Amino acid sequence: MSAALLSNLIVAALVALAIGLAWLVRRRPLWRASARELWRRRPIALAVLGLYACVALLDAVSWVGGQAPDTAAGTSLLAHPRSVVDRLFPADFQERSYSAPLADVEFYGGFKLLHPGAHLLGTDIIGRDVLHQTLRGARVALLIGGLTSLIAIPLALLLGVGAGWLGGRFDDLVFFLISTLASMPSLLLLVALVMVLGTGTAQVCLALGVTGWVGLCRLVRAETLKLRELDYVKAARVLGASDLAIVLRHVLPNLGHLVLISFVLMFSGLVLSEVMLSWLGLGLDGSWGRMIDQARTELSRQPLVWWNLFSASIALFGLILAANLVADALRDVLDPRTATERE
């Protein structure tokens, strides 16, 4: 199966999942009330997050073909699948080197551009459109956040709930594992992992996942310990419900808010971590971290090239800020402790 097809299928699955979730939230009055309250508090941040998600998803849907540009190399450009975001731009939307935003000529040397005045945010060192690159960064960012969470959250839930619920030896083991991993300086551990595992997307996400699950696992374990002692859980036990049934029906649903809040918080942390990795030469291709890293030297050029750094930074800042704001609002809405305070 080709990469493009797989990617398209994943997008379809994600969209289906989102619709399913939305439907579920609509059906549960409590969830719906929370979702409403969240929307009331942070409409802009939520919309911004949605926008990022849309761009990322649209950039993951790609196919071969389209209108060939009338240049010589035109048809060969169409041999590769291009995503919806790619198709917002002409297929041959590339210059030879830097050009300033909306410039007609190259930044150094003054050669005429192929697409004068069309590069809204200029072009980078090998002439790629900066706006295009920035939009593509969204997919990388969401991939990092999503894939890593897919590794970290189930791991944290499994071990955390298991440790908290079963207690005894298993709890000791998990606690020891958590303490061991948490005692290593996180950035150093991350770097060591990436160096040993390699620098592909899956490897970087795995490394981020290994360093990221510990915090959530600790929270989940503590919360499970607390839940285990609650009267209604005890009652369910006395009534003879099986452990698995109690965990599924009473424990996991009560961990939902923790997981959701941690996920959003973790998400912004992960994207920021990737920026650091990029700078150490261990980041992912096409990420904003890479763009920022490349733009670093551009500030010392005369005259300086600012648009690369500017675009990637703004895109990154927007995403992280929106995620942070949503995480705060989520905590206010969902955390029972602050919720009772509001009443």
Partner 1 sequence: MIAFILRRLAFGAATVGGVLTFLFMLFFLYATPEDMARRALGDKAPPQAISTWIANHGYDRPLAWNPDAPADTLLVEHFRRSLSFDFGRSDADGMPIYQRIREGVGPSLALTLPLFVLGLLFSVALGLVVATFRDSYIDRAGLVLCVLTMSLSILLYIIGGQWLLGTVLRWFPVSGFDTDPAMLLRFVALPVLVGVFVSFGEQTRFYRTLFVEETSRDYVRTARAKGCGDGRVMWRHVLPNALIPIVTHVVVAIPLLFTGSILLESFFGIPGLGSMTVEAIHGNDFATLRAMVFLGSLLFIAAQIATDVLYTLLDPRIRLG
Q: What share of the chain is helix, strand, coil (3-state, %, to 5)?
A: 70, 5, 25
CA dihedral 15, 270, 87, 84 (to 10 degrees): 0
Interface pick for partner 1 out of 57, 204, 325, 333 (rule CB under 8 A)? 325
Find out whether 104 and 112 touch, Cβ atoms under 8 Å: yes
Q: What is the DSSP letter of 137?
A: H
Residues between 164 and 193 that touch partner 1 (CB under 8 A): 176-177, 179-181, 183-185, 187-189, 191-193
Separation of alpha carbons 158 and 146, rounded Å: 18
- Nearer CB in complex with partner 1: 217/275: 275
- The strand pairing partners of 105, in sequence order, are 112
Q: Measured from the CB of residue 188, what is the shortest distance to partner 1 in angstroms?
A: 5
Closest CA to 174 of 150, 190, 158: 158
Tokens of 79: 């041999």
Site map for partner 1, 278-317, x if CB under 8 A?
-xxxx------x--xx-xx--xx--------x---x--xx
- Nearer CB in complex with partner 1: 295/334: 295
Find out whether 333 and 37 touch, Cβ atoms under 8 Å: yes
- Nearer CB in complex with partner 1: 8/324: 324
Find out whether 334 and 260 touch, Cβ atoms under 8 Å: yes
Separation of alpha carbons 99 and 107, rounded Å: 4
Cβ atoms < 10 Å from Cβ of 47: 12
Size of the site for partner 1 (CB under 8 A): 41
Instruction: Choose one: 49-57, 130-138, 146-154, 270-278; the region binding partner 1 (CB under 8 A).
Output: 270-278
Q: Is 270 in the site for partner 1 (CB under 8 A)?
A: no
Q: Measured at the alpha carbon of residue 45, what is the angle toward residues 271 and 334, in degrees to the nearest 5? A: 90
Q: What is the CA radius of gyration of the chain?
A: 24
Q: Measured from the CB of residue 225, what is the shortest distance to partner 1 in angstroms?
A: 18
- Nearer CB in complex with partner 1: 66/281: 281
Q: What is the DSSP letter of 58?
A: H
- Nearer CB in complex with partner 1: 19/272: 272
Site of tokens 């790619």: 86
Q: Measured from the CB of residue 318, what is the shortest distance to partner 1 in angstroms?
A: 9
Q: Measured from the CB of residue 88, what is the shortest distance to partner 1 in angstroms?
A: 26
Instruction: Choose one: 33-41, 228-236, 238-246, 269-277; the region binding partner 1 (CB under 8 A).
Output: 269-277
- Nearer CB in complex with partner 1: 35/181: 181
Separation of alpha carbons 136 and 102, rounded Å: 20
Site map for partner 1, 193-222, x if CB under 8 A?
x-xxx-------------------------
Q: What counts of helices (H) and strands (E) characterise the chain? A: 14, 2
- Nearer CB in complex with partner 1: 117/281: 281
Residue ranges binding partner 1 (CB under 8 A): 176-177, 179-181, 183-185, 187-189, 191-193, 195-197, 268, 272, 275-276, 279-282, 289, 292-293, 295-296, 299-300, 309, 313, 316-317, 320-321, 324-325, 328
